[in-house]
Structure 1
Amino acid sequence: MLFTSSLLAIVGAGDQPSLSPRRLCLFNTTTGAPLRELNFLTSILAIRMNRKRLIVILQDKAYVYEINSLSILDTFDTVPNIKGLCALSPCLDACYMALPASTTKGSALLYNVMDCNLHCEIEAHRSPLAAMVFSSNGMYIATASEQGTLVRVHLVSDATKSYSFRRGSYSSTIFSLSFGPSKQLPDILAATSSSGSIHLFTLGFASHPRSKRSSGFLGSIIPDAVNDVLDPAYHHVLHNAVPAGVKSSAVIRKVENVTDTSSSELLACRANMCVITYNGYFQEYNLSIDAHQKLSWSLERETNLLTVTLDKVP
């Protein structure tokens, strides 16, 4: 669904022509009327939308459409992309699309889809990419590799690394990455993984991570590029939020910065996070991170979507 609009894109997963995975249907959820159908030669692996562009991802191609007229603007050949990896910025002032650039290393190609030109290539990881997402303002892109131990954040404008976070020491599959909806820092980046834990990373909270070195002898001899990975102050974990191995996706829905009215000093960062698990559960969390990087959280509700019954319409 396109944000909170009535535009819904549906791709089938069956053998019948109406449920074909090669068929994309656009619906108006207000009227219930189909708007347009797009058919492709191979299965559709992913759909991305913002208010100007519709992106359709196949295994070896990416199609860019103007979302109002559905006229095709460009087609990009890609490396074999069996996971359908793609990220699209929701911001029209920085309207970028990211696609994997390699099947052997974690590099990404970033395109400006307003003019359909290549913007840059970012070499983020040694292992192939597993997940990537743009920040709400299109300024940053976060990536994780198939190894799943590091999450890196790059500045899109000049393809430089701004943050590097260690999720853990052991490999884990990153299922999703999600920035908060903040247009400016501070912001929160959430990651879900096969370990069952939800990882939260804070960006721009207090001092920049590169300006703060880990204390002690180890921090004094390790270069900045490595040192920021070792500082746990910007990393918080909700342990065992989801059963290990169950695929899940988290979305940061709201971020609110609480400041001191007299000094304008940032006191805390509050957020609302929703989690969907592939075994049928919906969870909603309230999060709060204070100026000392202490996390407090509460599970506001948890619903088994597989057992929910709708009231009968009279």
Structure 2
Amino acid sequence: MARQSSSYPILCASFNQDNSGFAISTKDGFKIFDSNTGRLCYERAVGAFIIVEMLYSSSLLAIVGAGEQPSLSPRRLCLFNTTTSAPLREMTFLTSILAVRLNRKRLVVVLQEKTYIYDSNSLEILDTVDTVPNLKGLCAFSPSLDGCFLALPASTIKGSVLVYNVMELQSHCEIDAHRSPLAAITLSSNGTYIATASEQGTIIRVHLVSEATQSYSFRRGRYPSTIFSLSFAPSLQLPDILAATSSSGSVHIFSLGFATNQSRCKRSSSFLGSILPDSVNDALDPADHHVLHAAVSAGVRSYAVVRKVDKIADASSSEFSSCSRAVVSLITYNGYFQEYTFSINNKNESSWSLDREFNLLTFVSDSAKSS
């Protein structure tokens, strides 16, 4: 989540690969927080950055300047050590860096028309992927080494996605997800699912990556809205829920229940489902959809992740265990962190409670308070 409008005090926000920490940047510098405690772990006030990416909870950061001063060029990627507060390595590119993703084996650098794949340890370049013009730097990355995929836009006129296997260094598939160009994409942490939204923002689709087949189609709303973020819940197997934020100011939760998926697969494979166009299929496919209205003022950019999900078995049913409670963390680009508990019972009734909220811009570290 970078390259945002300068009208926001927060220039970029990103959670690490397991959502245990997050980073923000402003015109003055960047800050690293612990998601579980809200503790400010590190801050550096040296100027504006458009990209700050963490490697889990390690001391390694990938940072890119906003170009407001010569030493912070948007064409220069710096691998930075927070323990020593010193750069480890710098890499300069011909054009501005639009996105960076990394795990313990791979480093991905996204430019407007090229994406570079590096070995994270040696920084040897492994492959170069030519892409369609990607002005927003849209990309998604699944950090799991067993299902390590990178997703990039494959068209500028429709919502097609290129899914690339970063470990095997080859294209995996191309998915035609929407009629309109993409606005948001995300991969589940294990690389099982990919979710997409187009510039229309009314339909969110989820595909099974291994087979490039559509598994879910959710209607977010009937009126167009800009989708700011998509995020799957963490899971070692199948993700339970998908969270989305949009310019309407609402947070949306979509359930990805196994039993629901079975019924959808049966319907989509029926004769009627096979001959109906997508737009009609979407209308016939009701979403297990829960909304927190007005979480953010309309139009304010926001970024939500599902940090944790607790499940309980429904004793009255032989179906798959249902999601009972989820922790949803939200960063707003006007400077706030919010954390909600989302709960749902076996009657599909949901509730939201705000557990934490604090101002990211005025937050002071414990060491600063004691001094």
User: TM over 0.5: same fold?
Assistant: yes
Distance 1:227 1:137 in 2: 28
Give identity over the alignment, percent.
Answer: 70
User: Deviations along 1:17-75, whole A, 9 cap, x unmatched?
Assistant: 32111111111223323211111111111111122111111111101111111111111
Q: Which residue of 2 aligns with 1:18?
A: 71
Deviates more, 1:232-241 or 1:191-200: 232-241
Pick from 261, 276, 279 the counterpart of residue 334 of structure 2. 279
Amino acid in structure 1 at the alignment position of 2:345:
D
Q: 2:144 aligned with 1:118, yes or no? A: no
Cα distance change of structure 1 residues 306 and 113 upon mapping to structure 2, 3 Å threshold: same
Question: 1:105: Cα distance to partner?
Answer: 0.2
Distance 1:43 1:224, change over 3 A: closer
Match of 2:121 in 1: 68
Is the 1:50–1:88 Cα contact (8 Å) retained in structure 2?
Answer: no
For 1:140 and 1:224, how far apart are their aligned partners in 2?
Answer: 23
User: What is aligned with 1:210?
Assistant: 264
Distance 1:95 1:229 in 2: 33
- CA distance in structure 2 between the aligned counterparts of 1:58 and 1:267, rounded to whole angstroms: 41
How do 1:1-314 and structure 2 match up within 5 A? 1-185=54-238, 187-208=240-261, 209-210=263-264, 226-227=280-281, 229-259=283-313, 266=321, 268-310=323-365, 311-312=368-369, 314=371
* Distance of aligned partners of 1:263 and 1:165 in 2 relative to their CA distance in 1, 3 Å threshold: closer
Matched AA of 1:307: T
Cα-to-partner distance string for 1:73-116 (whole Å, 9 max, x where unaligned): 11111111000011111211111111101000000111111121
SS of structure 2 residue aligned to 1:207:
helix
Residues 230 and 240 from structure 1, CA distance in 2 versus in 1: closer, same or farther, beyond 3 angstroms?
farther
Q: Deviations over 1:143-190 (max 9, x none)?
A: 000110000000111110000000000110001000010122351100
Secondary structure of the 1:300 match is strand
Residue by residue over 1:238-270, the C-alpha shift from the partner in whole angstroms, topping out at 9 and shown as x without a partner, is 101111000110011111211258988625431
SS at match of 1:138: coil
Scaled by the length of structure 2, what TM-score is found? Answer: 0.78
Aligned-partner SS, 1:210: helix
* Stretches of structure 2 lacking an aligned partner (at least 5 in a row): 1-53
* Cα distance change on mapping 1:134 and 1:35 into 2, 3 Å: same
Cα root mean square deviation, aligned: 2.4
Q: How far apart in 2 are the matches of 1:154 and 1:27?
A: 35
Cα distance in 2 between the residues matched to 1:280 and 1:75: 36
CA contact (8 A) 2:218 2:287 kept: no
Q: Which runs of 4+ in 1 moved over 4 A?
A: 222-233, 260-265
**Is contact 1:89-1:138 (8 Å) kept?**
yes
Confirm or deny: 8 A CA contact 1:6 1:30 kept in the other structure: yes
